[in-house]
Chains A and B, each alone.
Chain A
Amino acid sequence: MDNDIFQGYKGAALEVLKKYQVRVWGTTRVDTTRGGFEGTVLPRSENDDDQHIVIKIVTGYNIGLDVNTILGMIETGYKKANYKIPEKQFPYTKGLPKVKLFGTGGTIASRLDYRTGAVIPAFSPGELYGAVPELADICNLETEKIFAVFSENMGPMQYKALAIAIGKEIEKGVDGIVIGHGTDTLHHTGAALSFMCQNLPVPVVLVGSQRSSDRPSSDAALNLMHAMKAAGESDIAEVMICMFGPTSDEYGLLHKGTRVRKMHSSYRSTFRTIGDTPLAMISRKEITPIKKSYNKRRPDKKVTILPYFSDKVTMLYYYPAMSPDVLDAMVDKGYKGIIFVGTGLGHVNKELYPAIERAHAKGVHMFMTLQTIWGFVHMFVYDTGRDMMAKGIVPAGNMLPEVAWVKLSWILGQTEDPEKVKEMMLTPINDEITQREPYNGYLVYQGGVPEVEEFIKRVHK
């Protein structure tokens, strides 16, 4: 009961509220050594100190009062706020495609959480329509909240549940599927679903937002509109990630789930296709293909759902002078697959060799990927590379490290036969390893260079 009335307050601050019998959401007059204050007592974030009481003053601002300065308090009323996005029935429009939206949490729809003082996921179809009414012009929407977790808490359980849900939805005859997702591990999920949902007849679009939807400049609304359009209208039947192209509110990009990576901690245009070009550009008006070949939409409902995932795969990000006991520890802990993230063309130091041999002897499946992010692993160039291959590390082409981790986990969920594992790893399912790298697959332009500056000035960022 106390917890409800004094939400989030503890220690000294809680004592003061109790002493003067003032509740959270109570309007109060406070007398302090710094003068008088009036306002509504707000809940306090659990991680903040116990020395202050937060009130919202009449002008709408919040302030904190130091409990040591408080001489007296009285409650003059009670006014609980109701933070709720207006819910409206999502309208049905004949002729528009039927799109299913799965909610997993994340910033695509969120609200304030007083417990932590941060934003938490919130999701309902009506809320979405209330916040982004334009969606009704794009599709007929059905929504289902599968779980509400932050992006970083998405894992094997969720991948499998999503894959199964996608399979069921396709059987029911949906025109496209959108998955709302936090952005941090969007590309991990993108890869997992690419492997788990094969031979898709409709688009499966993963979407998030880099700025939570509780801010006016959020990218959530436009990302959602783009994703719904991609799911409902496009003929690209693949697992895709749909996020901002530039940081401007102009167009989004559709990236292949197996070739995409989050490249900036906070930019809106954080997702980039690596070592290749995105599938298409998308705006509210049109979808403009970039890649010529892709899996086309089909009228049938034949999809292959392979919901497997082993939790015995880990990654080893190499650094100079890494000690072999790091690798030994992983093997001792029972990991069966290890994705190395090596330097340059795919290298680790010689001190690691004995540990690699021990791991190989124990049947651990080891693959090499790159810290350089771009480019192919090439272990024939130097002796060290040849040595490592001899000791059992398999080069994984230009597979992105995160994708390699996902794929090996997915494979080891199905088989542990070394030859089979190797064959499956190196046989691309959807471009996780490509045959060639186009010249425009690697673009990290250098700011300050005149021609780059000229380009930046001319084109919206």
Chain B
Amino acid sequence: MQFDSRRNYENSKQLVGYVPRREATPETYRRVGFMAGLEVHQQLLTKEKLFCHCPAGVYHHHEEYDAELIRHMRPTLSELGVYDGTALMEFRTRKEINYRINNENACTYDVDDTPPFPINREALGIALEISLLSKLNVVGEVHITRKQYLDGSIPAGFQRTAILGVEGELELPHKKIRLIQLSIEEDSCREISDIGHVRVYKTDRLGMPLIETVTYPDCDTPDEIKQACDYIRFLNRSTGLVRTGIGAGRQDVNVSCKGGTRVEIKGVAHTKWIPELTHNEVFRQWALLQIKEKLNNQITDVEGWKADFIFVNGAMLDKIPLVGQAEKVMLVNLPGFEGVLSYFTQPGQSFANEIADRLKVIACLEKPNMQSSEQLYPDVNEIVWDEFRRQMNAGAKDVQLLVWGPEADMKTAFETIEERCQMAFLGVPPETRKSLADGTTLFERVLPGADRMYPDTDSPPIPLPDEYITSLSKKLPREVIDSYKQLKKWDVSEEVYTYLFSKNLFPVIQRMANELEADPKFIALFFGQKVKFAEGHFRGPDPFDYNRIFELFAFLKAREIHHNLAAYMLQEMIEHPKMDFDSILQSIGFKKISKEEIESKLPMLKAKFMDGKQEISKTNMRNWVIGQVRKRALGNVDLSGLSKLI
């Protein structure tokens, strides 16, 4: 009887116990042993790059380059005399790496044709401040280390990086998260494309100062890991010395389930994506563990398991895209693998995707690159599969794969398939995975270990004497958790905290409360609601300077204008940042009118309301009358006080 792949997929999804995240409870995650930690990257706000004097933060479009150059990377030994697994994987891909260089923002250091200049002291100072805020044990001497990256994201083949502190702590509202370490490092290139054996990067971001904060896997739920990530970002921003905007902060999330393996979800640009990604990843691992069980039950000779292949004629496969252009079509037999390829792994994906992803990355076969006899939505009919099974002498419980592409890549393709299947007997392979917008992930590379470190023989160690550390300690801003507690005390709603912390607004709120005697709750909400709204709706020539809000309230106070006018001045302030407040008042048509004069209009308006057609009620009357005087009253009287007079 024909194997029903789709039914197997649905059944296995049930066996895994997958539920959508909105239906998941803390108990769901306890059951699978959810465990997650973070590596949070943050660009520092410096004028220059970390190891050269190129300007930092000057970006260019893909096509705006002055020169191109090519590198190939080879794995080299770590300091401890070991090759790193990731490095060996990348070497197998035989990638040609193409770098686009713009003379404005990259120099010969960036492309590894000049040794490093001394480390950027401005960056080091900022990174140390953040280390101290993170309560890390700060090192006595900074040692620059080379961390191998053979994917080409750094032309040297390694990133210069250094540890500044270890064993810190981050206080969340309901929990403490332990920190492993904080390092300062140079940022990598931005990828333009990666097709076949050619990967193209641009070097504008390369070499910019970056810090990486690494936590222990102390988070138990997807929401908690997001909160931890937000707090690390808030902490970084509380210094006012880090970059903001797209790509200035990025995080890698490490996830595992009970019995699983640490898997790193790389380059998550926004913290709001973290919950869905980690939710799906923990279930993917849970599914892989079930596949492991299944395979070890189904197959007796696990040690001696091997795949097999033949080349076949692709003529019968004209329905599959790309097969027609392929040099070779390979048929691979996976003995005893029935029910595995269509086993659920992620929403809409099965184990077959694990193989297809690796074929793209390691064997450089562009997708679609594979079709299995357990395809959920097949393009090849059973008659054709039967013919292939006959050619291969395949057993009834075997599963077949068709793979196509350039002949030169077929050897690596077969090895990749066999290797991934062998890993399935062991459970969850340690991987770095790329996040996708739908909350799923795909294979990016083998997870690197500590075996890719090598001392930077081009840089001397940098001592950090006590006096220097003490002087930095004196400049530290208030801790985020203390600001959190203060906002709570002021009775400010939690809804606006993310905005206030991500824009680092606590200091200005506090200054306004102290110096202008403004109500901190009102100010906090003014920022969190009015300013946020205005920013979302109006565009100005420059990023908005939040200190202008302080000036605005100081101005209103000095002119004895009621602060309920403030919100109506925001649009002009954003669109014309250089306009003075008097001009803004004129522009929005504000006139100073005495309280008495406004109040004197009320009886006449009340009478007019009574003559009108509205249903007569006290609320309706108040609303209508206030509506009539609103424009003149704003800035002159408190509207709720006025309302009470009606």
Binds A, one of B140-148, B195-203, B627-635: B140-148
Q: Is B485's beta carbon under 8 Å from chain A?
A: no
**A76-91 contact mask (Cβ, 8 Å, vs B): 1 or 0:** 0000011111000000
Chain A residues within 8 Å of B137, by CB:
32, 34-37
- Please name all residues of chain A whose beta carbon is closer than 8 Å to the beta carbon of B87 when the two chains form the complex: 216
By the criterion CB–CB under 8 Å, are B140 and A217 in contact? no
Contact B76 A218, beta carbon cutoff 8 Å: yes
Partner of A64, one of B81, B140, B146, B452: B140
A-B pairs with lowest CB-CB distance, top 5: A64-B141, A216-B157, A35-B137, A66-B140, A60-B450
Smallest beta-carbon distance A174→chain B, Å: 28
| Cα–Cα distance between A58 and B465 once the two chains are bound (Å) | 24
B67 touches A461 (CB 8 A): yes
Question: Which residues of chain A (267-313) have a CB below 8 Å from chain B?
Answer: 267-268
Complex partner residue of A66 from B69, B73, B141, B148, CB under 8 angstroms: B141
Q: Does residue A56 face the partner (Cβ distance < 8 Å to B)?
A: yes
* Residues in A whose Cβ lies below 8 Å from that of B138: 34-35
A248 to B72, CA, bound (A): 9
Tell me which residues across on chain B come within 8 A of A131, comparing CB atoms. Answer: 74, 76
Chain B positions within 8 Å of A248 at CB level: 69-71
- Complex A-B: 19 CB contacts under 8 Å: A54-B461, A59-B450, A60-B78, A60-B451, A61-B145, A62-B145, A62-B455, A66-B140, A66-B464, A66-B466, A85-B77, A117-B457, A215-B157, A216-B148, A216-B150, A247-B111, A266-B114, A267-B113, A460-B68
B646 part of interface (Cβ distance < 8 Å): no
Counting CB contacts under 8 A, is B254 at the interface? no
Which single residue of chain B is at the shortest CB-CB distance from A60?
B450
Question: Does A63 lie within 8 Å of B76, measured CB to CB?
Answer: no
Judged by a CB distance under 8 angstroms, whether A315 is at the interface is no
Residue B638 is within 8 A (CB to CB) of chain A in the complex: no
| Residues on B with beta carbons closer than 8 Å to the beta carbon of A64 | 139-143, 461, 463
The stretch of A44-52, A137-145, A184-192, A327-335 that contacts the partner chain: A44-52
Cβ A249 vs Cβ B461 within 8 A: no
A65 within 8 A of B: yes
Which of B68, B71, B140 contacts A34 (CB under 8 A)?
B140
Hey, which bits of chain A sit against chain B, CB under 8 A? 32-37, 48-49, 51-52, 54, 56-69, 81-85, 112, 117-119, 131, 211-218, 221-222, 246-250, 264, 266-268, 453, 456-457, 460-461
Q: Which of A49, A84, A247, A456 contacts B81 (CB 8 A)?
A: A84
Q: A248-B69, A248-B71 are in contact. Are A60 and B453 (CB under 8 A)?
A: yes
Q: Could you say which residues of chain B place their CB within 8 Å of the CB of A56?
A: 79-80, 453
B79 and A57 within 8 A (CB)? no
Cβ–Cβ contact B143 & A54, under 8 A: yes
Q: Provide the residues of chain A in CB contact with B146, threshold 8 Å.
A: 215
- Whole-angstrom distance between the Cβ of B87 and the nearest chain A Cβ: 7
Inter-subunit contact B79/A81 (CB<8 Å): yes
B115, B461, B465: residue with the most chain A Cβ atoms closer than 10 Å:
B461
| A48 and B461 contact, CB distance less than 8 A | yes
Cβ-based interface call for B298 (8 A): no
Using an 8 Å CB-CB cutoff, how does the interface string of B72-107 with A read, 1 for contact, 0 for none? 111111111100000100000000000001000000
Scoring A61, A216, A218 by chain B CB atoms within 10 A of each residue's CB, the highest score goes to: A216
CB-defined contacts of B477 to chain A, threshold 8 Å: none
Asked whether any CB of chain A lies closer than 8 Å to the CB of B180, the reply is yes
Which residues B438-471 have CB closer than 8 A to chain A? 449-455, 457, 460-461, 463-466, 469
Residues of A within 8 A of B163 (CB): 57, 59, 61-63
- 0/1 interface trace, chain B 140-171, chain A, CB 8 Å (1 if under): 11110111111000011110011100110000
* In the complex, per-residue mask of B100-129: 1 if CB is within 8 Å of any chain A CB, else 0: 010000001001111100000000000000
Given A60-B452, A215-B157, also A48-B460 (CB < 8 A): yes
Interface residues of B in 509-548 (CB under 8 A from A): none
A36 and B167 in contact (CB under 8 A), knowing A52-B463, A216-B156, A456-B66?
yes
A51 to B75, CA, bound (A): 34
**Bound complex: CA of A266 vs CA of B110, how far in Å?**
13
Q: Are A457 and B67 in contact (CB under 8 A)?
A: yes
Bound complex: CA of A453 vs CA of B79, how far in Å? 41
- Min C-beta distance of A402 to chain B, whole Å: 23
Which residues of chain B are within 8 angstroms of A457 by Cβ–Cβ distance? 65-68
Contacts A60-B78, A221-B74, A266-B115 given: A66-B450 contact, CB under 8 Å? no
For A79, give the chain B residue with the smallest CB separation: B80
A57 to B167, CA, bound (A): 11
- Knowing A216-B73, A216-B157, A247-B69, say if A267 contacts B140 (CB, 8 Å): no
Q: How far is it, in angstroms, between the C-alpha of A60 and the C-alpha of B79 when the chains are bound? A: 9
* Residues of the B chain whose Cβ atoms lie less than 8 Å from the Cβ of A216: 73-76, 87, 148-150, 156-158
Neighbouring A residues of B145 by C-beta, 8 Å: 60-62
CA distance A37 to B457 in the complex (A): 24
What are the residues of chain A within 8 A of B181 when measuring CB–CB?
57, 59, 61
Interface centre among B79, B101, B161, by most A CB within 10 Å?
A: B79
| A460 close to B113 (CB less than 8 A) | no
Most chain-A CB neighbours within 10 Å: which of B78, B81, B140, B161?
B140
Residues of B within 8 A of A63 (CB): 139-143, 163, 166
Write out the residue numbers on chain B whose beta carbons fall within 8 Å of the beta carbon of A57: 163, 166, 181
CB atoms of B141 and A52 under 8 A apart = yes
Query: How long is the Cα–Cα vector from A214 to B77 in the complex, in angstroms?
Result: 7
Residues of A within 8 A of B183 (CB): 61
Inside 8 A of A85's CB, which chain B residues have their CB? 77
Q: Return A42 CB to nearest CB of chain B, in Å.
A: 8
Nearest CB of chain B from residue A350's CB, rounded to whole Å? 41
In the bound complex, how far is the Cα of B79 from the Cα of A331, in angstroms? Answer: 50
Q: Which of A62, A83, A453, A460 is in CB contact (< 8 Å) with B77?
A: A83
Cα separation A388 to B117 with both chains bound (whole Å)? 45
Indicate which residue in B158, B451, B453 contacts A215 across the interface (CB closer than 8 Å).
B158
Name the distance in Å between A173's Cβ and chain B's nearest Cβ. 33
CB distance from A115 to the nearest CB of B (A): 12
Cβ 8 A contact of B73, one of A51, A81, A217, A247: A217
Task: Report the Cα distance A96→B112, complex, angstroms.
Answer: 35
How long is the Cα–Cα vector from A82 to B78 in the complex, in angstroms? Answer: 10
Q: How far does the alpha carbon of A457 sit from the alpha carbon of B64 in the complex, in Å?
A: 10
Question: 9 new A-B pairs (CB below 8 Å) besides A57-B163, A216-B157, A247-B111?
Answer: A34-B138, A60-B453, A119-B457, A222-B72, A247-B69, A248-B70, A249-B71, A266-B115, A456-B66
* Distance to closest chain A CB from B252 (angstroms): 14
Query: What are the residues of chain A within 8 A of B111 when measuring CB–CB?
Result: 247
Chain A minimum-CB-distance residue to B111: A247
Please give me the residue from chain A that is nearest to B90 by CB atom.
A216
Instruction: List residues of chain A with CB within 8 A of the CB of B73.
Output: 216-217
B74: chain A residues within 8 A (beta carbon): 131, 216, 218, 221
CA distance A163 to B221 in the complex (A): 71
Residue among B143, B158, B452 making CB contact with A62, cutoff 8 Å: B143
Nearest-Cβ distance from residue A48 to partner chain B, whole angstroms: 6
Are A267 and B79 interface neighbours, CB within 8 A?
A: no
- Compute how far the CA of A61 lies from the CA of B469 in the bound complex, rounded to whole angstroms: 21
Once the chains bind, are B140 and A52 in contact (CB under 8 Å)? Answer: yes
Instruction: Compute how far the CA of A216 lies from the CA of B97 in the bound complex, rounded to whole angstroms.
Output: 13
CB-CB under 8 A from B112, the residues of chain A are 211, 215, 217
Closest Cβ of chain A to B206, distance in Å, is 13
- Chain B, residues 169-211, CB within 8 Å of chain A (1/0): the string is 0000000000011010000000000000000000000000000
- What are the residues of chain A within 8 A of B454 when measuring CB–CB? 112, 214-215
Chain A residue, CB-CB nearest to B144? A62
- Once the chains bind, are A214 and B141 in contact (CB under 8 Å)? no
Complex Cα gap A219–B41 (Å): 31
Instruction: Report the minimal beta-carbon distance from B622 to chain A, rounded to whole angstroms.
Output: 62
Given contacts A117-B457, A247-B111, contact A61 B76 (CB under 8 A): no
CB distance from B387 to the nearest CB of A (A): 39
Q: CB-CB < 8 A to A83: which residues of B?
A: 77, 79-81
B139 touches A65 (CB 8 A): yes
Query: Chain B contacts of A217 at CB under 8 A?
Result: 71, 73, 112, 155-157
